[in-house]
Structure 1
């Protein structure tokens, strides 16, 4: 009996350190935020990973690209992070957050101003590719803007149809599809003039970058054919401003494949989170396409079609 009891005690003592080890931080995960501001709702994202007991925090602001946060402090389920440092003409922006299950809530502080923050754990969106797709359907009829609507003030829209092409004549409003989509196969052709910049958003949340700016203007993950700031093309194709580029984009869950001019440049890669300019952070929901018109004008589009999973 003593030997058996001693053996059990020894076995139990070996188990205690393992079961008693501190698990991963409750802050770890991908977090989606819809932030209410005086100008309307804005989407942001926070990604937290842990390695060797140390956290790594990345932040996607409402505009621009995702970036790593260098100044933060984690204490259990609480995170205090500097989103942007103070400058001569502006105070620092701080996030104070507490994790509880699948929610990350707190407040944003900018000087004396504060904004409530309510984040939710982003859905994994892992699913198999459909066995069959519908026949591609035209989203642009080549005659008018039926099926599309300008975002914001229509008076600032410079989208029109010329010679069967969808044209943005000048810097102005973005253009959004009336319909919303979940998993999809998108085809479009774009003629991007020199020094132009735009983007074609999937579900209104993930930007396929379109630009013909100098190479020095953007790192590879923000150049034409990228998922802006998130995924760089594995192959950089020759730039031909003023000529037609063809894009075939497949999005299933958060897995994306991009074929540009017949070359697979992004192959079944995961989009970690929303990109700057996302309409919302509701990643588990269908969303519209939208095309940026608020950067530069002069871009032309044609042959915009979509296929969806067959039921």
Structure 2
């Protein structure tokens, strides 16, 4: 009986280890086409294109969205923007003909921290705040290191990891954001953000990934993902 119990225990532990083993890395961009992606709320991707082996948009193209939904995952990507540009990677996106991608999903912010121009916020011209800088959970949580980003015109490496609602943003090898999606702390951050007035979606388990077209040029490359 003891031998049987021991064998069962070993099997349970082994099964648990295998169940927790991450999936294999899968490429989300083959360097030649936009296979695996489609335009959000549009019939075609307009100005999104492959140039020099990278996925890019000149702006005015609309967001590009993954065909597949993801729950727990780890995603890596390289990105580059010119001076004064703005973009992002939005996850947990629910396709809705009435709302933009950022109404349903958190955003890994991509922006020219130093040179992005002032903008009108309620009749007042303001500069971006720390919660709106590269690597941030956009307008919710600022990156812990504002110096981790490389200047506009240079390639940066981003990473997003989600496991059991624990979310991490990484920038150039450094973890810069760490939060629990749907937690009391997250709700408190939400209440202080612009999304508090926008009917932001309640927490949900799965969604698509969007590459944001904010009207500016943006480049992506080496995009890969594995499910956890």
User: Corresponding residue for 1:223?
Assistant: 133
User: Corresponding residue for 2:13?
Assistant: none
Q: Normalized per residue, which structure has more strand? A: 1
Q: Mind listing any 5+ residue stretches in structure 1 that lack a counterpart?
A: 1-129
Aligned counterparts of 1:279 and 1:160: Cα–Cα separation in 2? 32
1:287 to 188, 207, 210: 207
What secondary structure sits across from 1:203 in the alignment? strand
Larger Rg: 1
Aligned residues: 177
Q: Normalized per residue, which structure has more helix? A: 2
- Does the CA-based 8 Å contact 1:154-1:173 persist in structure 2? no
* Cα shift readout 1:151-190 (whole Å, capped 9, x = no counterpart): 1234673111112110112223111000000011010000
User: Corresponding residue for 1:299?
Assistant: 218
2:29 to 135, 140, 145: 140
User: Corresponding residue for 1:175?
Assistant: 64
Aligned counterparts of 2:27 and 2:199: Cα–Cα separation in 1? 23
1:247 to 158, 183, 186: 158
Aligned counterparts of 1:172 and 1:279: Cα–Cα separation in 2? 25
User: Corresponding residue for 1:152?
Assistant: 41
Aligned counterparts of 2:76 and 2:199: Cα–Cα separation in 1? 21
- Does the CA-based 8 Å contact 2:108-2:169 persist in structure 1? no
Q: 1:140 to 1:156 in 2, by over 3 A?
A: closer
Moved over 6 A (4+): none
Please give the TM-score of this superposition, normalised by the length of structure 2: 0.70
Aligned counterparts of 1:183 and 1:175: Cα–Cα separation in 2? 20
User: Corresponding residue for 2:170?
Assistant: 259
Bigger RCO of structures 1 and 2 (CA < 8 A, at least 6 apart): 2
- Does the CA-based 8 Å contact 2:45-2:64 persist in structure 1? no
What secondary structure sits across from 2:223 in the alignment? strand
What secondary structure sits across from 1:166 in the alignment? strand
